[in-house]
């Protein structure tokens, strides 16, 4: 079963919230959708809120997901991911950044907004 996804459009960014149970396939599909939604609306900044995605993400999955993100997002999108401690964390972020993605994993919406507005 997939994640429930809500997309909200602001002037220069997207806010996407996902709710449901973690699975590698669910996040893989979600990351593909983030790319599609961002391209469709020509937005470069995205806040992806995973705070309500239940379950622990294994380290190996974080590596696979980080590589996937760096492949599909590249540097065209600046994405702040809100994730709890048992969710995505710095391992994922480092893999994605090493592959060229502009990404940050942060604990809350405020830090996501701050990161998105840095250097702009």
The separation between CA 49 and the C-alpha centre of its own chain, rounded to angstroms, equals 7
Contacts of 117 (CB under 8 A, 6+ apart): none
d(Cα 85, Cα 91) in Å, to the nearest integer?
12
Mean pLDDT over each residue of the chain, to the nearest integer:
90
Torsion angles phi and psi, residue 38, rounded to 5: -65, -45
Residue spans per domain, the chain: 4-117
Query: Which among 72, 80, 76, 70 has a CA at the least distance from the CA of 100?
Result: 70
For 74, other C-beta atoms within 10 Å of its C-beta total: 13
pLDDT digits (tens, 9 = 90+) for 28-51: 999 999 999 888 887 778 999 999
Confidence of residue 1 (pLDDT cuts 50, 70, 90): low
| CATH 3.30.750.24 is the classification of domain 4-117 | yes
Confidence of residue 10 (pLDDT cuts 50, 70, 90): confident
Q: What is the pLDDT of residue 43?
A: 75
pTM across the whole model: 0.92
């Amino acid at each position: 079963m997939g994640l429930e996804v809500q997309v909200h459009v602001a002037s220069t960014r997207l806010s996407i919230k996902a709710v449901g149970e973690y699975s590698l396939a669910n996040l893989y599909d979600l990351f593909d959708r983030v790319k599609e939604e961002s391209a469709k609306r020509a937005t470069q900044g995205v806040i992806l809120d995973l705070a309500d995605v239940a379950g622990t993400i294994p380290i190996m999955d974080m590596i696979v997901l980080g590589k996937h993100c760096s492949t599909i997002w590249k540097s065209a999108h600046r994405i702040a991911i809100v994730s709890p401690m048992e969710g995505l964390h710095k391992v994922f972020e480092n893999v994605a950044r090493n592959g060229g993605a502009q990404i940050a994993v942060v604990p809350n919406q405020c830090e996501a907004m701050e990161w998105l507005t840095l250097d702009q």
